[in-house]
Structures are given as C-alpha cells and as structure tokens.
Amino acid sequence: MRTGSDPTAETKDLSPIQQINGYINQARSHGLIQLVDQGSQHNGHSVVVNGQELINFGSCGYMGLEFDPRVREGGIEAIRNYGIQFSSSRSYLSNPMYPKLEGLLENIFQSPTLLASTTTLAHLAALPTLVSPDDVVLMDQQVHSSVQMASKVLKANGVQIEIISHSNVARIERKIKAFKDTKKKIWYLGDGVYSMYGDFAPVAELEHLLNTYEQFHLYLDDAHGMSWMGKRGCGYVLDNMKKHERLYVLTGLAKGFGTGGGAMILPNNEVKQLIRNCGGTQIFSGPIQPPLLGAGIESAKIHLRDDFESLQHELRDKMAFMTKALDNQPLPQMSAVNSPIRFLGIGPTGKAQEIAKILIKKGFWLNVAHFPAVGPHHSGLRFMVNRQTRETDIENFVDAIKSAAYDIIGKDEEAISQIWKTFSKEYRYSLIQG
C-alpha cells in the first residue's frame, strides 16, 4: 500500500493565499490541474493530455449541446452577421440578439430574466443591488465560490454575514427567528445543485420558510441544475419550487445549456430593471459576444422543443448506470444518486492525488477536489456523467477506481471506515471566513 502526503502538513502559520498556493502547486506538480487539451478537435467524449487520450469524466457539459450542429451553426451565423465582438457596454447599446435570447429564456423559466456575461458577474450585479446594510445574509458553507466572492462585497458594504452549516434548515430557521426583530430582510444564499458534492438544496423546506416568514428571501445559484433537470430544462430549483416574490434564482449557460453567460431569473420586471440600472457589472462589464448569443438562441430553441425531454432521458439513463456501477466500490459517495456530479470522499489530499494519477495512467480524466474547492482534509474524486459518456467507459472507470483505491488506501476495513467517519462529520469551512 502506498500513501500520499498532504501538501501543507503545517498550515498554522500560513495565510489563506499561501495555503491555497501550496495545494495548487502540489496538484500542478502531479499533472492534475492547469493542463491543456492537446487534441486538434474536441467531441466531449475524450481529451488529449501530455499526448495521451483520456476518457473525459471532467466535463460539466451535461447535455452535450455545445456539440449540437444547430447550436454550432447559430454561433457561426452570428459571426457572419455581427462579427466576433460587439464592443459596447450594454448600458449604452446591445446586440439585437440580446433581447431575443432573453425572451426565449423567459419562455423557459416563465419569469423575467436578465442576462450577464458570466454567472459570477451576475452575482456581482444582483447581490450588492438587492442586499442592504439593514439586512443579514445567511450563507451556506458550501455555496459556490462565485457567490462567496459577491458576498465579500456585501461584507465590505457593511452587511452582516453568517455562515450556515451545509443545508441545515433547522439552523436557518433559528437564525430567522433571531434576526427578525433587528434586520429588515433575511437572505439565505445557497446552490440548487452543489458543484462539488452534487447534492441538492432542501428546496421543499426552504419553500416552507419562504411561506412562513415574510422577511425571508431565498437566493439560489442553480448553474449545475440547468438544462438536464426540469420542464424545458428550467433547472432543479424551478422544477421543484413554485414562483415566489422573494425567490431569486441565478443560473449559468456554460454548463448543461452548452453556450456561455449567466442568467438572473427574477420575481418581477421592476427588479429586473433595477439590477440592469444599478448592478455594477451590468454597467461596466463587457457583453456576451455574438457567437455565444447566436449559439444561446439555438440552444434555447432546442430546450423549447417537444422532444427536449428525450435528451434529458438519455442523460438520466447514463446517470442510473453510473449509480449501479458505483454500488460496490469502497469509498463514501457524497453525491446524490440522481445527480450528474459524483464525489467519492478520500480525506487526505495526497491520497486523493495519488488515486487520480493512477486513473489518468489508466486512461481516464477526472477532477481532484481539494482545498480551496472543499475544506481541508475533505479531498476526494469529482467526476461527471454527460450524454457523451458510454456505458462501457463507466464500467471500466469504476473498476479502475476500485483498483486504485485499494492500491493507495488498502483493503483494511479500519482504514476505509476512517474515511467514512471523516465525511460523516459536519465541517464548517468557507472561503469567506475560513
């Protein structure tokens, strides 16, 4: 049995940046991150790294729409008509494809929708506009880094921020009761589908809190729930919650949707105009460029077709096959069985890196999840299922995981039991507070 060591065994005297730099540099030295796909083409099924073709389990393009001929042609036609870029702040002038795409997205989401160049820029436009120093923010410890980034702006603006242990609805409710007499609005920031563990927000319980407490406002990033889930691909949150005047959903178009940009799904047109008027990144950031707008229009049309559900079913069949294949492997599965994102817990970063290196040698590309994407000592293997994934690839991949796990961790029941104990414990790491 071989073991790997953590890259920063002694971290007490290191700043957060030094810690992150240590982990990233160690992963780089092992050839696990910051690599380049060397293939002359890309089809979503495989990548070429250091001259080796690897089956791709690292893509968030869940629906494979980036390879759909209609979507590709939409981007090409937009270049023919409008060029590569439209170089103007949208505050002054927009490409004519902007309102067309927003209109199609409003048909998908059945709510007013405002586009942003990325999901990160959407958060940076929406949150500082919506949240005031009279409010309090309850932030899930595992909410996406882009939300945490925007929350640092809120904190600088004087907004009180409280970190909530992951999906702990009882604690959210206790905080609502604690702040209802001193704060104007109480915001909860979370994800619809969490990007590392692939688990889901407790939307039924959160909806109950919305209906119970008038001060409670719900803000969810559903970038990883978009397209593969819900009627017309509306996403996990909107498929499981009714429209509400205090529900704000932000999503990304660069994953399942297959193009690029971010979208703010808002309770009414007044809020939409407010964010467009006052959101800093709406005023000063560049627009979504013509190729992505043209491709986005075609992807939206596909979402609105009667046969779109059949594409979703293709992915769900692959997800079910992966679930069955993973049943007898030794590592704890942190992800939901009906999610395209899968996470196997390992714990020590060095061991996670060693297992990933073995899998790459065997011809599989995946993501090592370690600090700062997850908390220290909670590293693991993150991999995704998409429509390009083949069942034979899944079988071979899971067999390779079993072999590599036993090679690095061993078959000792006590060692494997310790991993399960590590991931059964609540941990409270977040980028904003550490």
Distances, alpha carbon 265 to alpha carbons 65, 136, 147, 352, in Å: 21, 22, 15, 37
Beta bridge partners of 138: 162, 188
Residue 377's nearest CA partner among 29, 2, 7 is 7
What is the pTM for the complete model shown? 0.93
pLDDT at residue 371, rounded to an integer: 86
**68-303 CATH:** 3.40.640.10
pLDDT at residue 10, rounded to an integer: 52
Convert the pLDDT of each residue in 149-202 to its tens digit. 999 999 999 999 999 999 999 999 999 999 999 999 999 999 999 999 999 999
Both structure tokens of 161: 């921020």
Q: What residue type is 199 in one-letter code?
A: D
Q: Are residues 256 and 228 in contact, defined by beta-carbon separation less than 8 angstroms?
A: yes
Residue 63 — φ and ψ, nearest 5°?
-95, -10
Q: How far apart are CA 266 and CA 264, in angstroms?
A: 6
Q: Quick one: three-class SS letters along 253-287?
A: CCCCCCCCCEEEECCCHHHHHHHHHHCHHHHHCCC
Residue 119 — φ and ψ, nearest 5°?
-65, -40
For residue 289, what is the DSSP state?
Answer: P
Domain ranges of the chain: 16-60+308-424, 68-303
Distance of CA 394 to the CA centre of its chain: 22
Residues of the chain with pLDDT under 70: 1-12, 425-434
Gyration radius of the chain's alpha carbons: 22
**16-60+308-424 CATH:** 3.90.1150.10
Convert the pLDDT of each residue in 16-40 to its tens digit. 899 889 999 999 999 999 999 999 9
For residue 166, what is the DSSP state?
Answer: T
